[in-house]
Structure 1
Amino acid sequence: MLITPTIFMGMNLPVIVEIFSASQKKIGISIGKVFSINTLGTVLGALLSGLFFIPAFGIKHTFEIGIAINIGMAIILLFFFDKIKPISKTVFSILAIFIFVGFVWIVPSWNTSLMVSGIFREFSLNPPATYADFKKHYSDREILFYKEGIGANVGVTRIKDELGSKILIINGKPDASSTLDMNTQVLLGQIPMMLHPNPKNIFVVGFGSGVTLGSVLTHEINKVTCAEISPEVIEAGYLFKTENGNCLADKRLNVVVEDALTYLKLAKNKYDVIISEPSNPWIAGIGNLFSKEYFERCKTKLNDDGLMIQWFHTYELSDDIMKLILHTFKAVFPYAQLWNPQQGDIIMVGSKKPITLNVEQLEEKLQFDKVKKNFHKIKIENVFTFLSCEAFSDEGFYSISGNLTINSELHPRLEFEAPKAFYLNQISTLTSRNDERFRTTTNHLLIRNYLQTHEPAIAELTSALAFHYNESNNYRLSYGIAKLLSEKNPADYTTSITLINSEEKLGMNKLRLTELEKLYRQFPDSPSVVQNYAYDKITEAVYAVSFLKNYPIDDYAKEILRTTKKDSVSQIKAFANLANLYLENSQPQQAYEMAERVSNLLDGNKNLGKLIALDDFCYTYSASSAYTLHYRTAIEYLMGLTMVNRQHSKKEMLGRMIEWRMKN
């Protein structure tokens, strides 16, 4: 459809040059004038369209203005061309004007549903077969707001269902909603306000739906400054008054229509908290908000006890890009945490000083009526549930951040790598695979400090279980909490149902385990039955490990060893498997002992190393040695892992964990 107008537009300049060179004696001057006017028109067209016509009239009418100008210029040029008869010029001019007026009159306004659909994103893998199918897909959505601006097309849609979810859409990309990402929006504001001892002056990058600002304003602060580059986003924010607490009416909020980078460069104030909301680096220009220079600029604008908060996500992203961002952030902020408000979203917290836990202060803040109501919106009812959202301590953050190069303004790697991951529809599993809440070997999570002085009540555990199963959709964590609750309160119906549902979500085959248990009782000396049953019970125990508790697997390990043949081949396989399972089950001492047995067998016969996954064994022996403070062995087998498999997925993380523990 574009080939015809493209050909004619390409003919414009050569035709004009031909006309003027034929009618002028001095060809050089004539052509020079044509190109000068063409350059001037290009500059003025870009400026007027971007700064005036699109904001004032919209994209469609701006195109129509452009068409009208082109037709007008064509008519003027036509009358300079002597080879065409005057009557033909007049007929052509009237016909062109008539067609243009008819086009403007007949052609309807653009389909705003299409403009806000984000079809480039949603249907990249499975596009609709026809335009009718596309329209049907969006027939359940109502357009509440749509406006085209200098930097973005902004829309608000409402889904026609029981919830009536409202979605803020910027350039086809959903940026906020009244339901789906409420956990992230609220906690983005509440995490720093709860952790900081006395926040008074806050800076927020990006307005979004205003929910994060509304959460910040539930606290007793002096001032919040928000830099939003698109005034259309602020205008759309009035449609989220219910969700954001009508934050735009709060006198403590100062919204400036300005680029955040520019504002921070010129700002003289320092802040207790800086919250950065933009989270899609595949969008042009957003990569700068994840550069070392940007984080350093934010750091210089923070007070000594200030907190830097950055929202990010795991979808449309690779593990390498995730490491690049984490490493860049950690290179600037000496102390960092990572929180997981819901599936697919993460929140980075950085500071100049260690973030300390003050339980009394947290409980006091949570008792403020506005704060309490704001947390209740996302089903967080107590300090225990709030703290259980932290997924990585400073140690864990450092371990997974990797040693990749830094993303900087001089070397904007993110600007080029993020679009690739977006179009390949990649998903980073780095944080979900290494979540510190799934083990007890890490003692630096804030909630681990909380548990040293506070035994969680059944009501707190029940609340946390409901949040992580229904809101954050962390089924492994909810399984671990449900397992503990079922021991404390076995008769509770809700806990039992959630335990079963969590098992189903995790793909655990309980029917198989039940049948194996029957066979185990009937045939306690059958190696096949015993080992299948024991390994399934160990897997069940591993899934249940959380920061709260682990379930020792020693009895099942003994059964496996009892029914294992006594030859060195069978023994080394069993020892290696159990070492790995002990480590996964947060029993590093037992893992270390099993790894030692493997090492002793290998010392006697090096060929046995061919029978096991030697790289996984080196990892297990090194990690368990680090956890049990045998650092010489840890380093020795880390070097062995490097020699056996330099590309091992956990090698880099293991090295950084050992480094962190030796330093601290």
Structure 2
Amino acid sequence: MTDIPASDADVNPKDAVGAPAADAVRDGDERGAGPRHALSPTARRLVILGFALSGAAALIYEVAWTRELSLVFSSTVYAVSTMLAAFMTGLSIGGWLGGRRADKSGTDPVRDLATVELGIAITGLMSPITLRVIPMLQYEVLTVFKPAPLVFFALQMLLAFVVMLVPTTLMGMTFPLASKISTTSYSSLGRTVGGLYSANTLGAIAGSLGAGFLLIPIFGLRASILFAGAINLVVACLIMAASRKPAIFRVGAALALVLVIGIGDVALPQTAVPLSLGTAYRFASYEDYVATSGAEDVSVIWAEENAYSRVEVVEEPGTGFRFLVNGSLVEGSNGRGDAPTTSLLSYLPAAYADKVDDVLVIGLGTGYTSASALRLPARSVTTVEINPAMREAASYFVGDTLEGDERWRLVNADARQQLQVADTNYDIITSEPSWPLAAAVSPLFTREFFELAESRLADGGVFCQWLPGYLLSHEDQAMMVHTVGQVFGNVHVWEVTVDGAGNGDILVIACNAKHVDDSEVVRERVAGMLAADGLTGVSAQEIPLSEFLGGASERAALDVNTDDHPLLEFRVPIELVEMVEGLRTP
């Protein structure tokens, strides 16, 4: 990197026209001694180092904010898109403002850049406070204004702006200011700006990996945000250290340090159950949420945060009622509705199967499905669960039932990858993943997944797929049954009933081999298994396929959910908004 020329004579006139070097000379004194922000090569290297660290901090913020907002918005394709759009909008506005500021006559870009970094530190460190406001705002928007789903998703972007707009705008200002500082001649403009961009991008890569693999899993979201703020504070100090007038910065640095310590020491109020798009329908009002989710009403008896999500086991004191929180969703409980349903995921396909030697359970959750599979005369039960934290969480529901049985094996892997590499053909494959809201779960509801499951079934094997019927529209229920029917020749649909009433959970049974085709025989077999398990008042009712698929012409018009066109992933968030707004009863 070349130094700033000592005089006008050192600048090639052809390079000087409209170039930063010409601006530098104009910004200097009458003798052309250089601009007021002229820095030594060593000082400019400090700016580049600081800009790289700033990129790392920016991506730590982005990962942490996206993770935290996902607990409120849920990880839908719409939510992820709006959060990314909000982040990029701030960068765009900041780039425009930073460019105008950098070219403004009489300004000191070094001091400006240091001030911007300090501003990022302060606003970034304040984001945990603003993040606590978002759930209430989202809930009020949903329940008071009841906007159309697509309008609601647009409003989610505005809510994301509450957290992101100011800090991301400041982040966007850093690049034009750093470019102004580092550029010394038009001839080196490309190399200088390219080097800055490369340094910032490498820092961003490091920040993204560090947040996902180290900071959040080990220290948590809040500590990760504090760490990013500390980085911005260090960067501001580095840049001002390269300036000729660092004294003004000391007051601001001291204030930022106080803010770091203050936010680190203040315990922000937090409830055990996230008020997210996926849990909002459980509460009559925001006041009801606060009243029933505070520390006096429920207690977190176990929690772990890792790269996949935050997993909690929550208990109501004095009642023994426990439920499992995975990210933004309540994914199971030991209540009368949940436990029997997950047990039926093993018992119902077993009533159809010729034999039950080898069982594959997709999704561990509370562990009830795997525990029920072990009560069958199986020689092996394999459970595939992508989140390793679920292993300990399940023990709070089924005790040592799983760990104490040598037939059980847990595989921490993606279910589709496990099916591809498995060397076993299973007599039963039963699948109960999370709600099909996120891109990580959606592939477990597609035709390609069902084809993969079918390829791993033994002769006479049976596949069982859970569907959240209380969430899906009738159209989407029909689409999913039709999609399963694209792969399997024999399909049966059952609804779980508790105390004689359907609870909305739908179990789709599918196989290609000859099997029991008498629903009363199946009901009797299932009743015997439930009775042996001590589960009373629980059963399942077969629903005629015609209620879902209609006649031949209606079936021909049904959609198919595929990897290439995952319709369910885009429809379920809309249906969830409608359910929360009371347009459909859960």
Task: Find the counterpart in structure 2 of residue 234 from structure 1.
Answer: 391
Flag the 1:357–1:402 CA change in 2: closer, same or farther, 3 A.
closer
Of residues 185, 198, 202 in structure 1, which corresponds to 2:342? 185
Q: Deviations over 1:56-114 (max 9, x none)?
A: 111111111111122112211222234xx14334554444334323332x22256252x
Which of 3, 6, 9 in structure 1 is aligned with 2:171? 9
**Highest RCO, 1 vs 2 (Cα 8 Å, sep ≥ 6):** 2
Q: Secondary structure at the match of 2:579?
A: coil
Q: How does 1:491-530 map to 2 (within 5 A)?
A: none
Question: Is 1:24–1:30's contact at 8 Å kept on the other side of the alignment?
Answer: no
**Equivalent in 543, 555, 570 of residue 402 of structure 1:** 555
**1:279: how far off?**
4.7
Alignment of 1:238-637 (within 5 A): 238-242=395-399, 246-342=401-497, 343-356=503-516, 371=529, 374-379=532-537, 389-392=540-543, 399=550, 402-403=555-556, 404-425=558-579
1:399 positional shift? 3.9
Q: Which residue of 1 aligns with 2:149?
A: none
Supply the distance in 1 between the matched residues of 2:228 and 2:209 (Cα, whole angstroms): 13
- The offset of 1:421, in angstroms, is 1.3
- Contact 1:202–1:273 at 8 Å: present in 2 too? yes
Aligned to 1:208, which of 362, 365, 370? 365
Structure 2 CA distance for partners of 1:137 and 1:12, relative to 1, 3 Å: farther
- The separation in 1 between residues aligned to 2:494 and 2:428, in whole angstroms, is 16
| 2:257 equivalent in structure 1 | 97
Cα deviation for residue 270 of structure 1 reads: 0.9
2:375 pairs with 1:218: yes
Once the 2 structures are TM-superposed, how far is the Cα of residue 296 of structure 1 from its aligned partner? 0.3
Residue matched to 2:270: 111
Name the SS of the counterpart of 2:389 in structure 1: helix
Distance in 2, Cα, partners of 1:347 & 1:196: 15
**Residue type at the aligned position of 1:329:** V
Which residue of 81, 88, 109 corresponds with 2:248?
88
Aligned-pair Cα RMSD in Å: 3.3
Name the CA distance, whole Å, in 2 between partners of 1:145 and 1:292: 37
Aligned residue type for 1:182: A
Q: Is residue 176 of structure 1 aligned with residue 326 of structure 2?
A: no
Tell me, what secondary structure is at the counterpart of 1:402?
A: helix
CA distance in 1, matches of 2:258, 2:572: 48
Distance 1:416 1:271 in 2: 32
Seen in structure 2, the aligned counterparts of structure 1 residues 137 and 323 have a Cα distance that, compared at 3 Å, is: same
Q: Counterpart of 2:307? A: 150
Deviations 1:607-664 (A, max 9, x none): xxxxxxxxxxxxxxxxxxxxxxxxxxxxxxxxxxxxxxxxxxxxxxxxxxxxxxxxxx
- Does structure 1 residue 165 correspond to structure 2 residue 318? no
Instruction: State the alpha-carbon separation in 2 of the partners of residues 361 and 186 from structure 1.
Output: 15
Instruction: State the one-letter code of the partner of 1:402.
Output: R
Contact 2:465 2:508 in 1 (8 A): yes
SS of match in other structure, 2:220: helix
Q: Distance in 1 between matches of 2:246 and 2:423?
A: 67
Deviates more, 1:136-145 or 1:405-414: 136-145
Say which SS state the counterpart of residue 433 (structure 2) adopts: coil
Q: TM-score scaled to structure 1, two decimals?
A: 0.57
How many residues are matched?
Answer: 412
Contact 2:351 2:525 in 1 (8 A): no
Q: Which amino acid aligns with 1:11?
A: M
The answer for the alignment partner of 1:588 in structure 2 is: none
Aligned partners of 2:527, 2:504: CA distance in 1, in Å? 26
CA distance in 2, matches of 1:53, 1:207: 26
Q: Which structure is larger by alpha-carbon Rg, 1 or 2?
A: 1
Measure, in 2, the Cα distance between the counterparts of 1:429 and 1:324.
21
- CA spacing shift, 1:81–1:17, aligned 2, 3 Å: farther
Cα distance in 2 for residues equivalent to 1:425 and 1:407 = 22
Q: 1:55 aligns with which of 212, 217, 229?
A: 217
The offset of 1:352, in angstroms, is 0.7
Q: 5 Å matches for 1:620-659?
A: none
Contact in 1 for aligned 2:325/2:331 (Cα 8 Å): yes
1:101 counterpart letter in structure 2: I
> Deviation of residue 410 (structure 1)?
1.4
Residue identity opposite 1:309 in structure 2: C
Q: Shift of residue 125 of structure 1?
A: 10
SS at match of 2:315: strand
Query: How far did residue 351 of structure 1 move?
Result: 0.3
Q: CA deviation at 1:227?
A: 1.0
- Deviation sequence 1:316-358 (CA, Å, 0-9, x none): 2212111111110111111011111131111010001232169
Quote how far apart the aligned CAs of 1:11 are. 2.2
TM-aligned CA distance change 1:72 to 1:427, over 3 Å: closer
For 2:460 and 2:250, the matched residues in 1 are separated by: 76
Query: 1: CA distance between counterparts of 2:547 and 2:206?
Result: 53
Letter in 1 for 2:367: G
Q: Using the alignment, how far apart are the partners of 2:443 and 2:374 within structure 1?
A: 28
Structure 2 residue aligned with 1:469 = none
SS of the residue corresponding to residue 168 of structure 1 reads strand
CA distance in 2, matches of 1:12, 1:429: 46
Distance 1:360 1:103, change over 3 A: closer
CA-to-aligned-CA distance 1:568-588 (integer Å, 9 cap, x gap): xxxxxxxxxxxxxxxxxxxxx
SS of the aligned residue for 1:144 comes to strand
Deviation at 1:29, TM superposition (A): 1.9
Q: Is the 8 A contact 2:357 2:379 kept in 1?
A: yes
- Cα deviation 1:500-530 (Å, max 9, x = unaligned): xxxxxxxxxxxxxxxxxxxxxxxxxxxxxxx
1:355 counterpart letter in structure 2: H
Amino acid paired to 2:542: A
* Distance change (3 Å), C-alpha of 1:365 and 1:205: closer
Task: Give the AA of the match of 1:247.
Answer: L
Contact 1:314 1:346 in 2 (8 A): yes
Work out whether residues 277 and 576 of structure 2, in 8 Å CA contact, stay in contact via their aligned partners in 1: no
Q: Give the share of equivalent positions with the same residue, in percent.
A: 27
- Secondary structure of the corresponding residue to residue 238 of structure 1: helix
Structure 1 pair 334–399 and aligned structure 2 pair: CA distance change class (3 A) = farther
Q: Distance in 2 between matches of 1:318 and 1:365?
A: 28
Q: Structure 1's 376 and 277: CA in aligned 2 closer, same or farther, altered over 3 A?
A: same
User: 2: distance between equivalents of 1:23 and 1:74?
Assistant: 25
Question: Can you list the C-alpha shifts for 1:166-209, whole angstroms capped at 9, x where unaligned?
Answer: 11111221111101312211111111223212211111111010
Compared with structure 1, are the counterparts of its residues 123 and 396 closer, same or farther at alpha carbon in structure 2 (3 Å cutoff)?
closer
Q: Gaps (5+ residues) in structure 1?
A: 381-385, 433-664
In 2, distance between residues paired with 1:12 and 1:187?
57
